[in-house]
Structure 1
């Protein structure tokens, strides 16, 4: 048994210290980044990714976020025919094809590739620490030499390095921080997300790889902190839930004789809801590690994206970063006991 005594941090534990700046306006900063991946693909855009959950990782979300230069990891439950039709278009450069570890997932990818070009792949499991997963990353790289591969999830530098060496371009970082994830409650396993990003980013960047912070962001300021910690990409689930572009079940109420949308169902992909829908229930050898919640209906995702991009732009002016790539070098975190004045509510 071993106890690590050095302090680990989450988003709630820090604020970003402002610095003297020559920037005069949020309009002067550039929130886009250009990446060159080892596969030879170049990509330029705002490095935000809608999570590959079957509520947020929708085709409608992909179209909406693309207008902001942001990305979407489609959920893995679309039928082959619909995926062929979608990826047959010319506007999928900001879209990841998602798959898990089953043979049927790999067969679906192969079937779609016969009819459409897939140049971004999200290889997603809850536990990225198994030797089987490392081997799978290597096999997917061999089968897709020209694709960008995002793989995870992990929270430590050693496995970040292992997955990059196996062939991944982007490592997905996060175990348990998501709003509808109960892994920490059910297993006791996890890692504070800010420290996980810092440590995994250090490991990835030493090998010319990248990291995607997956989970834990509840407000635009958390996204800003993730970039400051070294995240190259930030993946969002709960912050993008409840919008028109999602595929969750919308709830309605009668108000003054009119039917009004008031909420939407949102659930983790290891929840009872997801396993009932796709696997016929929770298998006897496992427990649910996700929850099902009702989030308020929030209309089109455009307003939320404007808040996010505006928050990131403002952060950059506070620390004097003209380009998003400069943010980690311009970021100093200060530990705090509290962040917000909630006298009038949160």
Structure 2
């Protein structure tokens, strides 16, 4: 998410040995500048990428130029042969890098993506606080059940899983770990901070920051200029009370 997966957020979270999946819309020059100024973050950051040819070319250039160690192949719904093929292609290009991939919610696809070359599977379709996929596309799976199922499959093959989405408090994180997750990915809980993306707006004397999913119309218009005629928005845009530094 470009509202939470920022360089500024990474610099702070790395101090606590927490990983940050950096959004894919930073330029190559911005990547080079940040990694040169913050080499300590290289152990705690992953570059996000999609499945297009342009995504792959940029990924190759960035990983080699910035000596990145982790890659996060990220699409809203990982149930396609094209996604598995992308993982195989990235694994062939980077045999020693850590590859995270998702999102999926079932054991069979977890196994397929690990066998394709992924080390860590992102689990979750529709649980996010600003995600509307379950309503718009009719696709989803209760998060706790998905984590239990996918973790069992991944661990049997020596892989790991990230529970991605649905956490609004520390107790939700505890449940995810209890269900078998090796990592928990947070978005909404980090929204609204100084290190988050977006401008601070003031309404009736109170400060807010904008927060939205990357499949929302806000994100698509920001980076593509419009919502493509073959797509529907699968996210909403909200204002989160400004929380200061993370």
Shared fold (TM-score, shorter chain, > 0.5) = yes
Q: How does 1:227-266 map to 2 (within 5 A)?
A: 227-253=177-203, 255=205, 262-266=207-211
In structure 1, the partner of 2:62 is 112
| Mapped contact 2:106–2:150 kept (Cα < 8 A) | yes
Q: Map 1:304-319; keep pairs closer than 5 Å.
A: none
Q: Between Structure 1 and Structure 2, how many residues are aligned?
A: 244
Matches within 5 A, 1:25-44: none
What is the aligned partner in structure 1 of residue 35 from structure 2?
A: 87
C-alpha distance in 2 between matches for 1:179 and 1:269: 12
Whether 1:67 and 2:15 are equivalent positions in the alignment is yes
Deviation at 1:191, TM superposition (A): 0.3
What SS does the corresponding residue of 2:207 show, helix, strand or coil?
strand
- List gaps (5 residues or longer) in structure 1: 1-52, 256-260, 302-346
2:230 is matched with 285
In the aligned structure 1, how far is the partner of 2:211 from the partner of 2:110? 29
Give the match for residue 56 of structure 1: 4
Number of the residue aligned with 2:245: 300
Q: Distance in 2 between matches of 1:235 and 1:177?
A: 12
Matched-pair contact (CA < 8 Å) for 2:168–2:188: yes
CA deviation vs aligned residue, 1:233-265 (integer Å, no higher than 9, x gap):
00001011000110122112575xxxxx61100
Aligned counterparts of 1:285 and 1:253: Cα–Cα separation in 2: 35
Question: If the length of structure 1 is used for normalisation, what is the TM-score?
Answer: 0.69
Residues 188-203 of structure 1 correspond to what in structure 2 (within 5 A)? 188-203=138-153
In structure 2, the gaps of 5 or more residues are none
What is the alpha-carbon distance in structure 1 between the residues aligned to residue 236 and residue 17 of structure 2? 31
CA distance in 2, matches of 1:127, 1:253: 36
Q: The residue matched to 2:65 in structure 1 has which SS? A: coil
Matched residues in 1 for 2:117 and 2:203: separation? Answer: 50
Provide the C-alpha distance between the structure 2 equivalents of 1:252 and 1:189, rounded to a whole number of angstroms.
36
Q: What is the CA–CA distance in structure 2 between the aligned matches of 1:298 and 1:199, rounded to whole Å?
A: 35
**Which residue is 1:208 aligned to?**
158
**Of the two, which has the highest radius of gyration?**
1
- State the secondary structure of the residue aligned to 2:195: coil
- What displacement does 1:173 show? 0.1
Note the 1:129-168 alignment, pairs <5 A: 129-168=79-118
Which residue of structure 2 lines up, in the alignment, with residue 273 of structure 1?
A: 218
SS at match of 1:149: strand
Whole-Å separation in 2 of the counterparts to 1:254 and 1:154: 41
Normalising by structure 2, we get a TM-score of 0.96
**Aligned residues of 2:63 and 2:69 also touching (Cα < 8 A):** no
CA RMSD of aligned residues (A): 1.1
**Using the alignment, how far apart are the partners of 2:63 and 2:124 within structure 1?**
29
Q: Which runs of 4+ in 1 moved over 3 A?
A: none
- Tell me the alpha carbon deviations over residues 60-101 of structure 1, each in whole angstroms, 9 at most, x when there is no partner: 000111111111000000001111222334212100011001
- Structure scoring higher RCO (CA < 8 A, sep ≥ 6) equals 1
Q: What SS does the corresponding residue of 2:161 show, helix, strand or coil?
A: strand
